[in-house]
Amino acid sequence: MPKAKKPKVAVWKFASCDGCQLSLLDCEDELLAVADAVEIAYFLEASRAVVKGPYDISLVEGSITTPHDAERIQEVRRVSKFLITIGACATAGGIQALRNFKDVKEFISIVYARPEYISTLEKSTPIAEHVKVDFELRGCPVNKYQLLEVINAFLNRRKPNVPSYSVCLECKRRGTPCVMVARGTPCLGPVTQAGCGAICPAYHRGCYGCFGPKETPNTASLSAWWRKLGVQEQDLVRAFRGFNAYAEPFRKESEAYEQQ
């Protein structure tokens, strides 16, 4: 019997650190099996061979920060059946979205000797602000097992099993005592989406929100608790302005304290 045609997978990069697509190469035990199940048709970090689209699944890393990339993402959408964004840059604009709170012209002149050469947009924005996205996988970086789960789910036409509850549930499951209660360490866990495995509290530090806001987060209440622990307002602003600074609940919370 002839083998069924393998689904084609492409990996695209916009403004980012390469870490989320590296997660795929970090699947050391699964990589060859994945390469067997799908045709890795476009993945420049790993291969110089390029297979033409259209693609069944496009994984998109990075945020949109230049006029050219704003056009390129449209083309990626056109050649992709399913478009999945991976990581905080692609789903929330990433750490580079800190420019969104400032004047980008000032940023350019701080970093570059010849500002006139730099072509950049005023804001770093998530992919979903530009095109329809079929699934957003959070994390800075993404969890590689969640990445495999999402690919698997789309190949089998089912819903990915990626929970949207908070990091707190992962701490409970891991048996980690609450760092806020037990140690008085400020933690973003109660408002942050699970997925990392609650690593930070297990290493005795507070969560810093790299998986972005959970579904319906009560950021105002958490901020009030942080204030009771003695956290200054400007430090609250910095805490919400991390790798998911431009995700709406975190953005609004940081702006609320900036104005005060």
Taking the mean position of all CA atoms in its chain, how far away is CA 11?
A: 15
Q: Is 108 left (phi over 0), alpha (psi -120 to 50) or beta?
A: alpha
The nearest distance, CB 172 to another protein, in angstroms, is 18
Of the pair 20, 151, the CB lying nearest another protein is at 20
Of the pair 3, 158, the CB lying nearest another protein is at 3
Task: Quote the radius of gyration of the chain (alpha carbons, Å).
Answer: 20
Of the pair 218, 232, the CB lying nearest another protein is at 232
Of the pair 26, 215, the CB lying nearest another protein is at 26
The nearest distance, CB 158 to another protein, in angstroms, is 26
Cβ atoms within 10 A of the Cβ of 71, count? 11
- Rounded to an integer, what distance in angstroms lies between the CA atom of residue 63 and that of residue 125? 6
Question: For binding to another protein (CB under 8 A), which residues are involved?
Answer: 13-20, 22-23, 25-26, 28-29, 31-32, 35, 40, 43-49, 65-66, 68-69, 72, 75-76, 94-96, 98-99, 102, 104, 106-108, 110-114, 117-120, 124, 140-141, 196, 199-200, 202-205, 208, 210, 235, 238, 242-243
Instruction: Give the full edge-to-edge strand order of the sheet including 135-137.
Output: 39-43, 8-13, 55-61, 80-86, 135-137
- Rounded to an integer, what distance in angstroms lies between the CA atom of residue 210 and that of residue 5? 37
The nearest distance, CB 15 to another protein, in angstroms, is 4
Element (H, E) at 145: helix 144-155
Local structure of residue 18 (DSSP, 8 states): S
Of the pair 104, 256, the CB lying nearest another protein is at 104
Residues 6+ apart with CB under 8 A from 61: 11, 12, 13, 14, 16, 18, 20, 21, 85, 86, 87, 89, 90
Of the pair 47, 218, the CB lying nearest another protein is at 47
The nearest distance, CB 37 to another protein, in angstroms, is 12
The nearest distance, CB 199 to another protein, in angstroms, is 4
Question: What 3-state class would DSSP assign to 20?
Answer: helix
Of the pair 122, 215, the CB lying nearest another protein is at 122
Residue 192, CA distances (Å) to 16, 19, 196 in order? 21, 20, 10
